[in-house]
Amino acid sequence: MAMNFIGNNMKKKLFIFALCSPLLMYMPISYRTMIADYPVNDPYYVPNRPKDERIRVEIVVQDDLSDDDVDKIQEVYFDNQRLRLHTSDYLGNRGRFYIKVDPGTYEVKWSVRTKNEWPAVETYSKSVSIPQTAKLYYIQINQEDIQTDIIQ
């Protein structure tokens, strides 16, 4: 009998509120969305944020599994920073690395260990020039070969 005094419209509103109230805990509404212009003392308001001029570099390292003489790539350096290689998977992938750098010229060094030839470890290096107009610079290292591509 107590439910008779609550109308159908009120039941619908209570039901919707019961469904939506848990979402309010995960999506709080900031006080900044309720006012027209931002206050000076707001620590999150940045009026003139500088544009990030760095370019994203993607480095892919792969072992050649078809060659029985080659064991694996030992180490890879990009701008004198060593990249941490993973163990080779069934496709020969050793890792995929993403770095943001300023435009300029950088040196890529890598060393490959062979099983049957002398010297057992050969070191290769190549200078790569990253232009300012690039959005992504792609580097793929596969044994002694290196391929680069610029995406603008």
Q: Specify the CATH number for 55-151; select among 1.10.3470, 3.30.200, 2.60.40, 1.10.10.
A: 2.60.40
Q: Residue 108: is its pLDDT beyond 90?
A: yes
Share of the chain above pLDDT 90, in %: 23
Query: In Å, how far are 2, 85, 125 from 95, measured between CA atoms?
Result: 67, 6, 18
pLDDT of amino acid 121: 86
What are the extents of the domains in the chain?
2-34, 55-151
SS3 content of the chain, % helix, strand, coil (to 5): 20, 40, 40
Q: What is the pLDDT of residues 31-77, one digit of tens each?
A: 445 554 555 555 665 666 667 778 899 999 988 777 665 668 889 99
The token duo for 42 is: 């707001």
- In the prediction, which pLDDT does 36 show? 46
Q: Is the per-residue pLDDT at 23 higher than 90? A: no
